[in-house]
Every structure is written in C-alpha cells, then in structure tokens.
Amino acid sequence: MCGVFGIRSPDRDVARIAYFGLFALQHRGQESAGIAVSDRGRITALREMGLVAQVFSEEKLRGLRGELAIGHTRYSTTGSTHWANAQPIVHNGRARTVALGHNGNLTNAAELREELAERGVRVHSTSDSEMIAALIAHDDAPLEEAVARTIAKLDGAFSCVALAENRLIAFRDPRGMRPLCLGRIGDDWVAASETCALDLVGADFVREVNRGEAVLIDGDGVTSLQAAPADGGGALCIFEFFYLARPDSRLAGVEVHSARVRMGERLAEESPVEADLVLPIPDSGTPAAIGFSRATGIPFSEGLIKNRYVGRTFIQPEQGLREQGIRLKFNPLAEVAGQRVVVIDDSIVHGNTTRQIVRMLFDAGASEVHVRISSPPVIGPCFYGIDLADEDELVAARRSIEAVRSYIGASSLHYLSLEGLTEATRRPESELCRACLTRDYPTRVPVEAAKLRFEPV
C-alpha cells in the first residue's frame, strides 16, 4: 500500500505539484512521505516519517527545485517502519544516480539481494524498493536498456516512478498488479498511482501505463518501451476495487465508487435482511451501504461518526483510554437505539475492529446488528503490497462463517460472493488477482514471505 506520483515540467513548481499529488494519494500510505527533484540531473530528496502535511512545509518545498519531481507515500510491507525505508530512495550507483518510489512488493527480493551482494553492491535499507533503484543505478547500459533489463529481473508487483539522468521514468510489472496512470497538464506529463491525483493537480488522464511497459519522459518527449511481455490478461488487485483505491478514482476504466455501489446492491440481493437502518463503516463501507440501501429500500443512516484525524502516527493513549479503543475512531449516533441495523463494511481482516463496532452498537441500544461485507472472506496473505497479516491472524482463514459471526458477536453475517464481487468490478476474472480470497496466487509465492525478512536479527 503506497502511492507514487511523478511530474516533468520545465516551467512549473514541480515539488509543489508533487506535494498536492501525494495529498490525493495519502490514503495509500500514512507512514512516511517524500519528494525527490532533479535539477539538470542533480537529485535532491526529502523524506520523513509522517503524513504529507506533517513532512512538508512551505520552506521545505521551496528548497526542492528542478524540472522533475517524484513523490511517495508509504505503508510498509517488506521492511519495517523506520526512516531508512521511507521513499523516494536515492541510490548512487556505478552508472548513475537513481531516485525511486515503488508501490508493490517483489516476490524474488531474496534472490535479487543475493545477486547484488555478489556484485559487491550494498543496499542500505531493508525494503525491496532500493534493490530496484540499485539494479538500474549499477547497470552500465544506456538508461532505457538498464530499465528494461531491471524490469525483466523483477518478479511480483511493482508500479514505480523514478528519476535518473534528468528523465522521469514510470514503469509497471507485467501483470499490472498495482495501478499506474499517465496524465498531462498542458504540455507537461504526470504519472500517478490513481486518477484522483491527476484530478487534484488539474491534469487530464491520458492512459494507464501498460503492463510490462516503461515510459521515459524528458525534454524530447515520451519514449515507451515494452520492457517485458505483458503476462496473460494481467492480475490487477481486486482489493484496489473494494478497499484500497479512492472512490473517485478510475481503475482500468471503471469508476471505483460505482463498482462499490454495485457490490452493495449485489450484497443486498445475495443476503437480504429485515432491518430499520443501513449504516456504513465510514468511509470504506459507504458506497456499498448506499447500494445496499438502494436495493433494499432500507433507509441509509450515517449512524457511526468517524474521527477523520486519527492518523497512524497519533500518540498512543494510556491503558485506561485504550480500553475505549474503537471510540478514538468511531462514535454511534443516538438514533441507533432500539433499531435493527445492518452494518456494511468492505472487508473483515483480523475481525477485532468489526467485533468492537458490533459491541459498541449493541451498547448504544441497537436491538439487532447484522453485518454485511462487500467482499468474500480474506483467507490468505498478500505477497504483492497489501499488508493483510499472516494467515493465522486472518479471522476467516481457519474459521467457518458461523464461527466468524460468533466471534464478532453479530446477529447475522454475510459476505459478498466472489462471483458477485468480480461482476461488480466489470473486469473479467482473467484480468484480476483475487489470491487472498482464493489462495490461487498469480506468481510463485516467496519461500520466506515474512514482512521483516531482511531485518537484522
């Protein structure tokens, strides 16, 4: 879960535009943020732990001058939470200096690390992203060839933006597992994880970066390379559709909000219930709750109010307050008292949050709490950039649906079928990764898949 952004513009304040691009991508990672600029080939980067608005000030942005900029918001998958793993990563290599922002996760990082070590190349961070930068930076071939050769060596999920030799590079893995699109502001080019970032900076959507394609942008225009053959129909992450992407983004031509409303409508068809109110778990459950309410005629209610300012970096409360736990984030309205409520969320991963919300609604006087989930049970881990935790932490991995219902304490529980979810995305099954819902992985699964596999013991 990361967001990437890139821009080339000789006349605009590229760091400021990257800042706003990252602002639109904040939902993809709240752990760290960074921007790197290239000024006639000289790269300067600033990256810190925290939200985009916490990391950058006017003064810091003014210090980032150049014609090109890339930016990154991070949520860790491979590599732990500390500054060295914040991005963009800058790697000074034998052939060139490369700044890189990566969304995704490599499944052959251990092999790549060995290959780099054999060549005497040291990588300083524990994330797999620096290996991509290092492979390009130490390749003596011309930049296009170095990028193409690097892409051919990588396995797993990668949507990247990079700066090298005063060129902006955007590339995507052969399965297109994570989104990446191109846009234009006047004559200038922009790359971003999601179309919502293009909208915010006033760029028009041009197209998605193709699977296995590298796009190099400089003063002479755009060069496109099919660096690796596209793999079958692709494997765009279905989690992007129901959870990760912002609802105002378009993924593979599909508006995410509409897809989520369809998921809610289908959920209503598949698992109707007698109830008085439909409540979303905000904000992720909201579009599906709209769909559920429309399809059933049960009134939609805001029922649960979310505190939107609880970031990942907030100060941990003391024990007494921690027991209030979920109230840091949600508080129910009095109107739920005496009502039969249907709570809609996009997914259940660990089950703890859902369990606490169900308890909170009963405490607030709800007479029945029915839970409806707009995706199927999550039964396997993700190796491609979404931190779903290990299988033994996934509540549905080894439990029946009835056992999950009993664990969360709901009056009833239903999940959307895999078929219903897929149809709601309007993308064929052959173009999607659904592996955490089916355990049918599109790549070789890494042997040592633990998140912290490169951490010093």
Residues with a catalytic annotation lie at 2
**Selected range binding ligand SF4 among 114-122, 288-296, 402-410, 430-438, rule: CB under 6 A:** 430-438
Asked if residue 26 lies in contact with residue 3, where contact means CB atoms within 8 angstroms, the answer is yes
In the bound complex, what is the minimum distance in angstroms from residue 443's beta carbon to ligand SF4?
10
In this complex, which beta carbon is closest to ligand SF4, that of residue 180 or of residue 217?
Answer: 180
Choosing from 172, 433, 446, 454, the residue that interacts with ligand SF4 (CB under 6 A) is 433
416 binds ligand SF4 (CB under 6 A): no
Choosing from 154, 261, 435, 454, the residue that interacts with ligand SF4 (CB under 6 A) is 435
Q: Which residue has the tokens 């150049």?
A: 66
For residue 32 the two structure tokens come to 């760290």
In the bound complex, what is the minimum distance in angstroms from residue 244's beta carbon to ligand SF4?
8
Residue 224 backbone phi and psi in degrees, to 5: -110, 130
**Selected range binding ligand SF4 among 202-210, 220-228, 305-313, 432-440, rule: CB under 6 A:** 432-440
* CB-facing half-sphere around the CA of 295: CA atoms within 13 A: 19
In this complex, which beta carbon is closest to ligand SF4, that of residue 191 or of residue 433?
Answer: 433
- In what helix (H) or strand (E) does residue 61 lie, and over which residues does it extend? helix 58-62
The DSSP secondary-structure symbol of 104 reads E
- Which neighbouring-strand residues pair with 225? 214
In the bound complex, what is the minimum distance in angstroms from residue 394's beta carbon to ligand SF4?
11
Choosing from 436, 443, 446, 454, the residue that interacts with ligand SF4 (CB under 6 A) is 436
- In what helix (H) or strand (E) does residue 251 lie, and over which residues does it extend? strand 250-251
In this complex, which beta carbon is closest to ligand SF4, that of residue 362 or of residue 384?
Answer: 384
In this complex, which beta carbon is closest to ligand SF4, that of residue 214 or of residue 436?
Answer: 436
Q: Tell me the one-letter amino acid at 42.
A: R
Rg (C-alpha) for the chain, rounded Å, is 22
In the bound complex, what is the minimum distance in angstroms from residue 386's beta carbon to ligand SF4?
4
The DSSP secondary-structure symbol of 391 reads G
In this complex, which beta carbon is closest to ligand SF4, that of residue 232 or of residue 299?
Answer: 232
Q: Give SS3 for 1.
A: coil
In this complex, which beta carbon is closest to ligand SF4, that of residue 330 or of residue 384?
Answer: 384
In the bound complex, what is the minimum distance in angstroms from residue 440's beta carbon to ligand SF4?
10
CA distance 77 to 82: 12
434 binds ligand SF4 (CB under 6 A): yes
For residue 29 the two structure tokens come to 């990672």
**Residues 220 to 259 in contact with ligand SF4, rule: CB under 6 A:** 237-239
CA of residue 239 relative to chain centroid, distance: 9
CA distance 181 to 387: 23
**Residues 360 to 399 in contact with ligand SF4, rule: CB under 6 A:** 382, 384, 386
**Residues 185 to 214 in contact with ligand SF4, rule: CB under 6 A:** none
In the bound complex, what is the minimum distance in angstroms from residue 296's beta carbon to ligand SF4?
28
* CB-facing half-sphere around the CA of 313: CA atoms within 13 A: 17
* DSSP strand pairing (432-433 vs 236-237): parallel
* DSSP strand pairing (32-39 vs 204-208): unpaired
Query: Judged by CB under 6 A, how many residues of this single chain contact ligand SF4?
Result: 11
Asked if residue 370 lies in contact with residue 412, where contact means CB atoms within 8 angstroms, the answer is yes
The DSSP secondary-structure symbol of 105 reads E
CA distance 141 to 153: 15
In this complex, which beta carbon is closest to ligand SF4, that of residue 23 or of residue 241?
Answer: 241
**Residues 129 to 188 in contact with ligand SF4, rule: CB under 6 A:** 177
In the bound complex, what is the minimum distance in angstroms from residue 384's beta carbon to ligand SF4?
4
In the bound complex, what is the minimum distance in angstroms from residue 190's beta carbon to ligand SF4?
25
352-355: Cβ within 8 A, 24+ apart:
353/326, 354/281, 354/408, 354/410, 355/407, 355/408, 355/409
Residues recorded for the chain? 457
106 binds ligand SF4 (CB under 6 A): no
In this complex, which beta carbon is closest to ligand SF4, that of residue 102 or of residue 434?
Answer: 434
Contacts with ligand SF4, residue ranges (CB under 6 A)? 177, 237-239, 382, 384, 386, 433-436
